[in-house]
Amino acid sequence: MSTAFPDTDEARWHAVRTHSQRAGDSFVYAVTSTGIYCQPTCRARRPRRENVRFFASADEAREAGFRACLRCAPDDAGDRHVGLALEAIEQIEASTPPTLPADQLAARVGTSASTLRRSFLAATGITPRQYADSVRRRRLRARLREGAPVSDAQYRAGYGSGSRLYEAAQGILGTTPARYRDGAPGVVIRYSTAHGPLGPYLAATTEHGICHVALGSDERTLVGELRREFPQAELAEDDALLRQALESTRDLLEHRVPDARLPMDVRATAFQRQVWEYLRAIPAGETRTYGEVAWAIGRPSAARAVARACASNPLALLTPCHRVIAADGGLAGYRWGIGLKGAVLAREHGDEGDPSR
């Protein structure tokens, strides 16, 4: 059975008729005959379809002149979700291991496992288990960077056995735990810099594909950031694969289609990968809001998580997070600076004069 949120008016109307719990607060509906808006789970008398309008949020419904239902209190839904999520995060962060059983975590915050999962998803875009896994990975990296023995780091992070850790290590660390602890010695990362229409840019690659593309004001800063990320790795300049990456980046800056066969080596959560794949499908010269991206990937309550995924994108231009903007049309954040974001968008829109236009 599909778990996608309603993405058409027909699907939203079905959610209203069935008081769908799965729809949660992914949208609100307003009744023109009463001037009231509700959550899809509201148990008030069902309105006539011709009197119903759908909105992505309570804010939009209020701006259209509707007032909140006193029965289902749609304005409070977001606060409830955030409150439960914050309590759960505190419990996860305070626990060793952080991966508490779902019913135990829910009991600690005073709700059911299903309600907590739904609220956590609405507030953060991920599940409590996914958050706990990220805490475990963070703790593992921190202990290894401090020079702790692998066995000590393993148990303090919450990995129950050495075999489980080493099975997952390639995806978590990109290498074995011992090598990560030592700053990835012996791992070869090739990089090169070039100058384009917007200034210097850098591309870096592992043996498997492109792992980093960055924009900046000067080459020294770009290389320094790469060295801080992999302090013990062997950094070497240029190879055939890297020249291909630089050429593809230049193609994007000059409005040409890059080589689609370019291999990439980027580790990501399932959610990040879903967002980044969607971003690569946005045509040049077009933009989407964070909320529109969330709707498009079937996670309408995850706009903030979409923003975080954009902010953590390691491949400037190749994964075009610059094409995602705020709901009010503002540029919002950009890992390489709002000025560069505006300039890239200006070039894609054919306006190379004033990036702020």
Positions annotated as catalytic residues are: 38, 321
Element (H, E) at 229: helix 219-229
The single-letter code of the amino acid at 274 is: Q
Q: Pull the structure tokens for residue 26.
A: 């992914």
Instruction: Tell me how far the alpha carbon of residue 326 is from its chain's centroid.
Output: 15
- Residue 175, classed as helix, strand or coil, is coil
| Closest among 249, 265, 263 to 201, alpha carbons compared | 249
User: Which value, to the nearest 10 degrees, does the dihedral of the CA atoms of residues 347, 349, 351, 355 take?
Assistant: -70
| Closest among 140, 118, 139, 138 to 128, alpha carbons compared | 118
Residues 6 or more apart from 70 whose CB is under 8 A from it?
none
The DSSP string of 78-90 is HHHHHHHHHHHHH
Backbone dihedral region of 281: left (phi > 0), alpha (psi from -120 to 50 degrees) or beta? alpha
How far is it between the farthest Cα atoms of the chain? 70
Residues 6 or more apart from 84 whose CB is under 8 A from it?
109, 111, 115, 116, 119, 120, 123
